[in-house]
Structure 1
Amino acid sequence: MKITRKKIIIVIAVLLVAGFAVSRFFGKKTPTLQTAEARRADLVSEVSATGKVEASENLNLAFEKSGKVALVSATVGKKVSVGAVLAFLDQKNELAALTSARGSLAAAQANFDKVLAGASSEEVAVAQSSLDAAKAALVAVQNQQAVLVLNALAAFNNSTPAAIPKTSNISSVTAEVSGTYTGSAQGIYKLTAYDTGLGPFVNVTGLESADFQVRSNAPTALGTHGLFVEFSSTAVQASDVWEIEIPNTKASNYVTNYNTYQAALQTQASAISSAQSAVDSAQASLNLKKAQARPADLAAAKAQLLSAQGGVQSAQAALEASLLRAPFAGTVTKVDIQRGQIISVNTAAISLISENKFEIKAFIPEADIARLKLGQEASVILDAYSSDVKFSAKVIKISPGETLIDGVSTYQTTFAFENPDERIRSGMTANLDILTDKREGIIIIPARAVFAKESAKFVKVMNPDQTVAEVEVKTGLRGSDGNIEITEGLSEGQKVLLSNSN
């Protein structure tokens, strides 16, 4: 029988269909369902990042003033302690100004102490002696001036005394006055003649009182004040009267003696006033020496002291400005000055990095930055060492401003190593795992077992009878290991289907 080409094609097609059917029938396998058991465990959430190690303090130091460099003690690689002098400028003027300021302060302090303590016993004794001398001088002036005034008064009162007869006298008998008036009172002696039958007598009234027989051959005392009277004749008539005025205002020397007396009184007042002023001044000085410091004096002395202290502080600041000190303990990395060089203010002179204090600067993407907080711990692996060499660090600073890297917003975050380690070097690459959250003893399942439906989250639970049921759950923390926290909907030990199960 002749087999045509058409028949051959038909047979091949039938065989292919039959082979495919057999393959489908005998090759079909039972679906494999992948499950995971809800278990209780600890869960952590981490953010991974890469950064660079830098010295926590890295400064270019400069002088605060310009001047001539006097000494440079720093050398590259030298380790220095905080406050160490690395270099200083010529200080002749600053040292002189400081010495002068300290002298002013010492003087102000001494004055304040003196005002506060008051006068010494020696000063009080000197002031008392001055007062005693002033008082003695006052007494001497008073006595001296009293004598001078009395002498002037006596001369004034003795301005040529004269017995003036009354115009009504019957006789022409005159009376002559002699002697020196020693009394201090001023007034009139009135002499009145009268007859007793034994001869003429005179009755004295006024400044003094007396009675005596009229005599023409000898002076008769008018009383006890030194004046005498002698009549030109005894032929006086009863009722004749003579008056003696003390002082005699009609005497030719009356005005002169009056002026002399008034001058003596003025001199006395001036001299006594001057002496009294000296006493008052000495008394005030003594009182001041004995008295405690007045608040006003103490405040003034305190102000002077504060001003002097400010002067010393200013001079010290000027001296300190000529020094270049290490602001922290570290290592000198550069020295750009030399002795004798004239350097300008704020010109970089010496560079310094901190000793065993390093940080890591890393840029965290915006997708993760919200999970970072200050104080979070980080595990650090440095590329220079194997992965089993780990260091600990903490987040100490998160920059508020973004930095664009390849069009992605990142935020510079600074980590501080918790413990100093000599193996850490500036410039090393650091790989960080930052612990952002942690739960202990919670129920977890693989995150891929959870799916969303109608604004809720579900898992497929494998029941003991091998049936599958959808169960709504609530989730919590998503861990870095692919697991997720289940807060509601599952119990420990339940099995859930994974999303890639066939």
Structure 2
Amino acid sequence: MKKKINFQEIKSFLLKNKKISIPVFIAIIVIVFFVFRASESDVASIESVKFTDLKKSVRATGQVVSETDISLSFNKASVVRSVRAKVGDKVNSGMILATLDQGQAFATLTEAKGKLLGAEAKYNKILEGYSNEEIILAEVAFKNAQTDLVNKKNNQITVVANAYQTLLNSSIAAFSISTGDTQIAPTITGTYVLEKEGDIRISTYQGGSWYFDGFGLVNAFGVVSSTTPQPIGESGLYIQFPTTFTQGNWIISIPNKKATNYLTNYNAYKSAIEDQTIIVATAQSLVDQRQAELNLKKAVARNTDVDIAKAEVLSAEGALQSAQSLYEDTIIRAGTSGTITKVDIKYGELSEIGKPVITLEDVGNLYIEALINEANIAYLKMGQSVSITFDAFGKDKNFTGVIAHIDPSAETNNGVVNYKIKVSLNEKDETIRPGMNANIDILAGQVSNVLAIPYIAINKKDGKYFVDFITNEKNKKYEDREVQIGFLGDNNLVEITSGLKADDKVALRKD
């Protein structure tokens, strides 16, 4: 403790020694000044020991994430043939979301299924044997399958041919070859019948009357007429000229790729070809199956036959699995139930292998991820209640949750050690979306009606805790007193478990 200076004694000393020289007098004054300064109290403020409630809160910011967050992509590069999902759609596990061109893959899969069925049938019948009636029925089934295959092939040839004919006749028109020609072009009518692509060039000339020549896909000759359409060779097309015209050269492109209906007709033609491949492959697969079944019914079983048939089944199973895998490469399926939150692909585009094109999230099962500093992680445990606000809604709208997970390992960034926690939401609110910023407040602990003082009043010496206990509040005198501390709460208040009582005073020193 610092001793207080007695200024009355100094005054009496100076009055009794009037003969002191001026320099000595000044020195005495300086010494007294600094002694006085040194004698001032170092107490900044005095705090009373009071009963209060303490709580410890851990606060952090985090982000809303989905329990399910899957980026889906194709496993092969091909043309996108369908996009069946859009943003906001709720889908179930296994649903097809998008497909690529499947013609060849589907045909291969169908063929593999047929071969497996045939191999299994062969194996089973080798073991069981067949009656004459079963053999006759198998022969009939085989012949029916062959007939069906021929009919479907012929039918599909007609369908494809009709689609191609429609494509070739896409709004046929004549266009001037000469740059800057502003005269009205001839009108083209009729139906093109030559079933080949290319150009027909038309030239007009005067030889007493006006005539035209056609060459390219056809060789044609005719009289220029503005009233009666004239045939263009054997193409099935007719040409009629405007009332007024001059000598000119025109081109008729087959098909007319500038036509407004060209793309529609082209896609219909391609679709017809794909359908032809699938339908014929399916019919051929059935023929193969019926042939295999018939062969099995006629065969005589031997041990080697059984072994061979078993091997054929295994081989067919492997081929089917391979075909199934190739087929699945043309499909994007929902791996789980959820909501589509992103679609980045369109019909007709060329897919890229592994490029995410659809995002699937479970927006009905959201949680918050946050990083907690190592200094606070010991206060947290599973199941603790959490108060939550979102930047998007403001501080006045409150939500609740619980700690659902605490990572056992730390994340270190620039020397700062944090632990990731997950907070599940109690409320199911459709306005809460993945990616939103969240503010969490966790009540880590609390005690009621305990003695507490500011933690800054605690002095630690040799592993023990002390306070500057006020012995004379007026003169701000204090002494060391050992205390025991307990719960450390918010606002830097600490519980005193022994050493002080209510209304005791402690000093907060300057310094």
> What range is the shorter-chain TM-score in?
0.3 to 0.5
TM-score using structure 1 length: 0.47
Q: Which has the larger radius of gyration?
A: 1
TM-score using structure 2 length: 0.46
